């Protein structure tokens, strides 16, 4: 059975790529290098990384065209469903003495008029202090720094975690090889990934970045959008520490 949408886009892709090949006089060895690159990325488990770095932001923006409210940002290659369900007070799953500066991530979920949206689910995942993701990179406990939790009845949420650093795409792999051939760096600005889900409002996927962070203006994955850059506020006053039952800052 012919799927009209598939037929329309695949035939246009075919036409577009053939025209592109003619325009650049792509030789057979260049063609084979391109297919080998994709095969190599699959063998090394980098295919999502390769595609997401170059193309996911476009799909994300197109899907966002009709949306209002906070913009979405790319899911990226490292999301996994089924992260641990957390219970308040919320703390991201982490190792004893998880390296990294203590971070309290807080905010509020509202509708377009600013009214609180109660009890949305947040599914949060981010890199550790070395820029590595659990269940992807070896040597990290499963589900480390991945968790699902809820905003309260006033739409507010707060969770304790650690501050991730900028993420560097492995330079040794096929994605890194392409980026270096283009003379680009391999960094994404430090970020938190989040999916927000609510029975009445549906689901969105986005990211939060940090004000003043490196690479905000030249994210290798072109995924920073207005309204997604959060303020980092240092909370090491005696009062703030006392609220946490601490006598000294973690960092
Ligand atoms: C990431 O952490 C990421 O978010 C993207 C888009 C690509 C590579 C690593
Ligand atoms: Fe990421």
Residue 229 pLDDT > 60: yes
Q: Is the CB of 192 under 6 A from ligand 1?
A: no
Is the CB of 52 within 6 Å of ligand 1?
yes
Of the pLDDT bands very low, low, confident and very high (cuts 50, 70, 90), residue 216 is very high
Whether 183 has a pLDDT exceeding 80, the answer reads: yes
Mean of the pLDDT values across residues 76-88? 98
Residue 235: per-residue pLDDT: 75
Whose alpha carbon is nearest atom 5 of ligand 1? 76
Q: pLDDT band at residue 251, thresholds of 50, 70 and 90?
A: very low
The bound ligand whose nearest atom lies closest to the alpha carbon of 187 is 1
With a 6 A CB cut-off, is 145 part of the ligand 1 pocket? no
The alpha carbon of 56 and the centre of ligand 1 are apart by a number of angstroms equal to: 10
From the CA of 192, how far away is ligand 2's center (Å)? 7
How far is the C-alpha of 88 from the C-alpha of 91, rounded, in Å?
Answer: 8
What strands lie across the sheet with 146-150, from one edge to the other? 146-150, 121-125, 191-198, 202-210, 229-230
Distances (CA, A) of 3 to 6, 47, 101, 200, 239: 5, 26, 51, 31, 62
Q: Confirm or reject: Cβ of 77 under 6 Å from ligand 1.
A: yes
Q: What are 203's strand-pairing partners?
A: 197
What ipTM did this prediction achieve? Answer: 0.95
Q: Binning pLDDT at 50, 70 and 90, where does residue 248 land?
A: low
HSE, side-chain direction, 13 A CA sphere, residue 71: 18
Q: Rounded to 5 degrees, what are φ and ψ at 31? A: -60, -45
Q: Which atom of ligand 1 is nearest to the CA of 193?
A: 4
Ligand 2 centroid–CA 154 distance in Å is 29
What pLDDT does residue 246 have? Answer: 67
| pTM for the structure as a whole | 0.93
**Which protein residues have a CB closer than 5 Å to ligand 2 (ion)?**
76
pLDDT above 50 (res 225):
yes
Closest by Cα among 225, 223, 229 to 211: 229
**pLDDT digits 0-9 by tens, 141-160:** 999 999 999 999 999 999 99
**pLDDT tens-digit profile of 89-117?**
999 999 999 999 999 999 999 999 999 99
The band of 236, judged by pLDDT with boundaries at 50, 70 and 90, is confident
- Is 250 a residue whose pLDDT tops 60? no
Ligand 1 atom closest to the Cα of residue 167 is 2
> Is the CB of 49 within 6 Å of ligand 1?
yes
């Amino acid at each position: 059975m012919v799927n009209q949408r598939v037929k329309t886009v695949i035939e246009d892709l075919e036409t577009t790529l053939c025209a592109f090949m003619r325009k650049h006089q792509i030789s057979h060895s260049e063609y084979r290098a391109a297919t080998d690159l994709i095969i190599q990325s699959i063998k090394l488990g980098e295919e999502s990384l390769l595609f997401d770095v170059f193309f996911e932001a476009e799909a994300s923006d197109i899907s966002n065209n009709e949306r209002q409210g906070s913009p979405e940002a790319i899911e990226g290659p490292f999301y996994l469903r089924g992260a641990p369900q957390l219970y308040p007070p919320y703390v991201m799953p982490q190792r004893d003495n998880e390296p990294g500066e203590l971070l309290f991530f807080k905010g509020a979920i509202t509708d377009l008029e600013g009214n609180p949206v109660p009890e949305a689910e947040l599914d949060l995942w981010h890199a550790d202090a070395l820029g590595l993701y659990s269940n992807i990179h070896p040597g990290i406990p499963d589900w480390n720094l991945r968790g699902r939790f809820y905003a309260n009845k006033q739409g507010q949420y707060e969770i304790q975690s650690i501050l991730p650093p900028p993420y560097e795409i492995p330079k040794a792999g096929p994605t890194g090889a392409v980026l270096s051939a283009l003379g680009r760096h391999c960094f994404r600005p430090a970020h938190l990934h989040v999916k927000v889900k609510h029975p009445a409002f549906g689901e969105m996927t986005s990211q939060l970045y940090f004000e003043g962070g490196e690479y905000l203006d030249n994210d290798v994955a072109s995924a920073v959008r207005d309204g997604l850059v959060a303020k980092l506020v240092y909370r090491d006053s005696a009062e703030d520490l006392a609220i946490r039952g601490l006598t000294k800052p973690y960092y």
